[in-house]
Structure formats: C-alpha cells, structure tokens
C-alpha cells in the first residue's frame, strides 16, 4: 500500500513539473487581450478577450532610435518596437546616408515620446523576422503612427497582411499631407512606393544650392513664366479697406510694404524663382535680388518657397 501511495506521489509531482515548464514566460496583467501567437513562436504578449476591446500593452519609452523605431520597457523587460505601416527617412542605417526629413522625423519622435508612458496596440502578427515587436504606438490618447503621417514625416509602407488594420485610414492621412506638399512630399518624386528616392533629393538640394550667389544674373524665364512684380506693385494692386486707407492718410503714412522686409527672393541658375525665409537652410547664404515683407507677396510675384 505504501509503495502504491509513493508511486502516485512521484507521478503527480512529475506531471506538475512538466506542466509548469510548458507554460514559458508570461506577461499576464500587463496587456489587453489578443490570443495570437507571435511570429517567432515565443508566445503571445496578450490574452484572448473581447474582440471590440483595443489590444494595447502599457509600456515605458526607454530610447528613441529614429522616427519609426523605439525601445520600450514592458514589466522590466526591454523590447525594440517597429511602428506598423509607416516608414520614415533613414538617419541611423549602416548602409544608407542620412535622408532628407529623417532628422526631422527623429527629432519629432524624441520631442513627443522621450520618457513617456505609452501603449502598444498590436495587430495580428506581433513580431517581425528580426524579433522586433510590431505595433501602433499610442501616446497621450493619440496614435503616433498617424502623427508622423499628418506632418509629412513618414509614408505608408510595409503593408503586409494580416497586419493591415489601419491601412485605409493611414492612406487617407497620407493623401492629405501629399496635397499640402509638406515634409517628404515637398520634394518632387522623393517619397515613392518602394522607398525614398535619393536622386530626387539630391536634385532638389542642388536646385536650392544653385540659388546661392547668383545675384546680378538674369536667367531667361520660360515663355509661360510671368515676370515678377515688385513689392510696390503688389501693394498697389491689393484692395485697401476703407477704414485702413483713411487712417493711413490721416496719419500721413504710406499704405506700402513694411520698412524692413526679411524674405529674400532669388533667381537660381536653373531658372527657378525661389524665396527664402529667416531660419531656412540657405537663408544666410542667399543673395537677395528682391525683398518681401510677407510670403504672400513673394508668391504673388512669381516665386516659390525654398524646400529646405
């Protein structure tokens, strides 16, 4: 009888040990439900639950790597996170140069995310082939993936089913940024379906550089180009409100441009009419051929804004 009891105890203990080993590491209590196995086979980061509940995991930002990659801490475990469905220009790639608007995207990420408590919303597959978590990142009740697209600092990219939950919404936001011509969309043919076009970026930068030191030269404008107007001409053509006109006359002041215009208009050697605002990359080096008080004046005179 004693041998039988001893045998049962040994079998029960062995079964308990085997069951405990099979469970593996768990992050229970730190995340919303998913019930989905990760691509690496290391187990899901979340548990099964209500389908309508947002699948979010609380995390703490440890480091911002670049515009679309961060390192976080989840219950004391450090993980690298790649934002889903977006791609920002490179700044830290070992085989690529720093790309236009990459530093801006990285700085925006640092300003927005550094030391913040965030939430990671998972899609279907939780990790990529490099073992990074794939997520939509929420900070202060806003999705950071969307924020990058809104500011023209990222393009919709790496659309691989089944991780396509928000792709339609992302494309709508991207279209709005394209129409505004902001960020990466301010450089023609730069942001493409398959990445960022370095040749287009170099061409745009060369065009901007050509605008330096060309004062005194008068390139032939294209037949369709309108000759630029002076600030005085622009002001003369603008309608003046009755009360503004009467007050100016009464004060003996001319209804003309400002006394100290700061916007520089320049004709590049390639025939582009470009205006530069204070703080722009080429502003200090640009020799002004015409000065404006407002950007509206410069545009009306036939100039376009410098892209950098």
Name, in order, each residue with C-beta under 8 angstroms of 174's C-beta and a sequence gap of 6 or more.
149, 155, 156
CA proximity to 278, closest of 292, 297, 263, 257: 263
Q: How far apart are the C-alpha atoms of 182 and 176, rounded to whole Å?
A: 9
Task: Write out the H or E segment, with its range, that includes residue 304.
Answer: strand 304-305
Q: Where in 42-182 does DSSP place strands (E)? A: 56-66, 69-74, 77-83, 86-87, 117-121, 133-139, 142-143, 155-156
Q: What is the β-pairing status of strands 117-121 and 56-66? A: antiparallel
Residues assigned a catalytic role: 82, 90, 132
- φ and ψ of 251, to 5 deg: -85, -5
Q: Tell me the Cα Rg of the chain.
A: 29
Q: Which residues of 23-55 are buried (b: 16+ CB within 10 A; e: fewer)?
A: eeeeeeeebbbbebebeeeeebbbbeeeeeeeb
């Amino acid at each position: 009888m004693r041998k039988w009891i001893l045998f049962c105890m040994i079998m029960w203990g062995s079964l308990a040990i085997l069951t405990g080993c099979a469970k593996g590491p768990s992050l229970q209590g730190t995340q919303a439900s998913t019930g989905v196995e990760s691509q690496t086979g290391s187990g899901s980061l979340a548990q099964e639950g209500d389908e309508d509940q947002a699948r979010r995991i609380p995390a703490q930002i440890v480091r911002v790597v670049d515009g679309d990659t961060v390192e976080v801490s989840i219950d004391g475990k450090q993980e690298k996170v790649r934002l889903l469905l977006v791609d920002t220009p490179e700044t830290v790639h070992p085989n690529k140069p720093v790309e236009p608007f990459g530093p801006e995207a990285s700085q925006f990420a640092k300003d927005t995310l550094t030391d913040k408590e965030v939430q990671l919303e998972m899609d279907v597959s939780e990790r990529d082939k490099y073992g990074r978590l794939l997520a939509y990142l929420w900070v202060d009740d806003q999705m950071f993936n969307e924020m990058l697209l809104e500011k023209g600092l990222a393009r919709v990219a790496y659309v691989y089913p089944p991780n396509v939950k928000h792709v339609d919404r992302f494309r709508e936001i991207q279209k709005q940024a394209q129409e505004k011509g902001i960020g990466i969309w301010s450089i023609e043919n730069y942001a493409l379906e398959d990445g960022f076009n370095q040749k287009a970026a170099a061409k745009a930068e060369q065009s901007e550089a050509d605008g330096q030191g060309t004062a005194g030269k008068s390139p032939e404008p294209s037949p369709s180009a309108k000759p630029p107007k002076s600030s005085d001409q622009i002001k003369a053509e603008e309608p003046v409100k009755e009360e503004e006109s009467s007050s100016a006359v009464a004060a003996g002041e001319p209804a003309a441009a400002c006394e100290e215009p700061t916007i520089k208009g320049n004709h590049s050697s390639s025939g582009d009419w470009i205006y530069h605002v204070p703080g722009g990359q080429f502003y200090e080096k640009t020799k002004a051929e015409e000065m404006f008080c407002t950007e509206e004046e410069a545009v009306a005179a036939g100039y376009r804004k410098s892209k950098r």
